[in-house]
């Protein structure tokens, strides 16, 4: 009997009340152009029909783990510990992997086996009733690391990522940083390992009002600034203050008009997906009127993508050193 083929990667799906989108997500994985992968679905205390649906699937590649509700970050860390393959592909329970996604990931893994992480471009889904691509940082591993070393955060669509499991665990895995555990992981990975961008759209990213990011958008954006503060603190070897102590100073850096415009652009795509065209038009005009600079900046990123990052200009933190690093104020 020939030896069984080694499975190189696992697709990990954290599941919490994922109906009615979960079947389309699973179907997109079972329809991949290659079969050399496993699927690990961790059902995080779901109260809908997600678990019963998964149990109705008869495919030997699917493994289901049911647990009490512990939240996304703890579920992602359990996923890293549960997999037996060297690579973990992220997949949210409402997003769509396009048919050649896993095939293209395997090709890049074969080409760069010592990398720490890969990610692809993603477009908003459904593609026929949504506008634009997810704002993703593009560049070589060296360029991505240079951006992080300058104090900037990478913008990466979380469910487009494939992680080297051992390297991710060595970097500390996901830390509980209030809905931005991904941005916190990217900078730590970039400083230690090569991150490769695959400049192809391999994922459909669904925006919906029940998602974690939609429910916590303002807090999430404020916490992105805190993650950037943690990065700059690490680069400058300064002791970072707890979030509560620096939150008032982060509020001063918070781009309010840009945030409001972003909310309306998100609502625009959600309304288009739901075929609520009057609401979509209203959201469009609100986004343009509130912050024309943000809107046209997003349009520029679509047409002529340049250097895209998250957060604010790092110099804004350094100009407020006494506020952000008070324990070291006497050393400047």
Quick check: 3 pLDDT over 50? no
In a domain, 208, yes or no: yes
Lowest mean pLDDT among 71-85, 156-170, 195-209, 210-224: 210-224
Read out DSSP for 14-25?
Answer: EESS-TTTHHHH
Give residue-wise pLDDT tens across range 238-297: 999 999 999 999 999 988 888 788 888 888 888 887 889 899 899 888 988 988 888 778
In a domain, 227, yes or no: no
Q: What is the mean pLDDT of residues 202-219?
A: 73
In a domain, 332, yes or no: no
Token pair, residue 162, equals: 């494939």
Q: What is the pLDDT at residue 2?
A: 40
Q: What is the pLDDT at residue 98?
A: 98
According to DSSP, the residues that pair with 38 across neighbouring strands are 10
Number of structural domains the chain divides into:
1
Range of the domain at 114: 1-212
The alpha carbon of residue 1 and the mean position of all alpha carbons in its chain are separated, in whole angstroms, by 42
In a domain, 323, yes or no: no
In a domain, 281, yes or no: no
Contacts of 114 (CB under 8 A, 6+ apart): 194
Quick check: 1 pLDDT over 60? no
Q: What is the pLDDT at residue 306?
A: 75
Outline where DSSP puts E strands in the chain. Answer: 9-15, 38-44, 62-67, 87-90, 96-97, 117-125, 153-154, 161-164, 195-206, 309-310
Read out DSSP for 266-281?
Answer: HHHHHHHHTT-HHHHH
Give residue-wise pLDDT tens across range 125-148: 988 877 788 999 999 999 999 999
In a domain, 246, yes or no: no
Q: What is the mean pLDDT of residues 108-137?
A: 92
In a domain, 299, yes or no: no
Q: Which residues of 103-138 are buried (b: 16+ CB within 10 A; e: fewer)?
A: ebbbebbeeeeebbbbbbbbbbbeeeebeeebbbbe
Instruction: Read off the CATH number of the domain in which 144 is found.
Output: 3.90.550.10
Residue 144 DSSP one-character state: H
In a domain, 70, yes or no: yes
Whether 198 and 117 have beta carbons less than 8 Å apart is answered as no
**Calculated CA dihedral for residues 256, 155, 124, 106, nearest 10 degrees:** -170
Q: What is the pLDDT at residue 167?
A: 98
């Amino acid at each position: 009997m020939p030896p069984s083929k080694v499975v190189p990667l696992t697709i990990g799906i954290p599941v919490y009340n994922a109906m009615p989108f979960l079947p389309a997500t699973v179907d997109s994985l079972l329809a991949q152009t290659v079969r050399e992968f496993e699927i690990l679905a961790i059902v995080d205390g779901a109260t809908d029909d997600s678990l019963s649906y998964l149990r109705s699937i008869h495919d030997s590649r699917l493994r289901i783990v049911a647990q009490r509700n512990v939240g996304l970050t703890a579920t992602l860390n359990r996923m890293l510990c549960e997999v037996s393959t060297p690579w973990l592909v992220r997949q949210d329970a409402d997003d769509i992997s396009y048919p050649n996604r896993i095939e293209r990931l395997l090709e890049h893994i074969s080409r760069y086996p010592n990398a720490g992480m890969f990610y692809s471009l993603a477009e908003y889904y459904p593609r026929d009733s949504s506008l634009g691509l997810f704002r993703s940082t593009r560049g070589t591993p060296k360029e991505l690391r240079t951006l992080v070393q300058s104090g900037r955060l990478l913008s990466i669509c979380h469910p487009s990522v494939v992680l080297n499991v051992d390297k991710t665990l060595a970097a500390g895995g996901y830390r509980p940083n209030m809905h931005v555990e991904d941005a916190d992981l990217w900078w730590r990975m970039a400083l230690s390992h090569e991150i490769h961008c695959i400049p192809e759209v391999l994922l459909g990213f669904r925006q919906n009002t029940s998602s974690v990011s939609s429910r916590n958008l303002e807090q999430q954006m404020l916490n992105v600034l805190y993650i950037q503060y943690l990065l700059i603190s690490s680069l400058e070897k300064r002791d970072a203050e707890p979030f509560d102590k620096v939150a008032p100073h982060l509020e001063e850096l918070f781009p309010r008009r840009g945030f409001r415009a972003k909310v309306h652009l998100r609502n625009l795509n959600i309304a288009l997906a739901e075929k609520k065209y009057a609401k979509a038009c209203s959201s469009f005009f609100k986004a343009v009127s509130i912050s024309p600079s943000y809107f046209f900046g997003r349009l520029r990123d679509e047409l002529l993508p340049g250097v895209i990052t998250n957060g604010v200009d790092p110099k804004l933190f350094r100009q407020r050193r006494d506020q952000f690093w008070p324990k070291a104020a006497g050393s400047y």
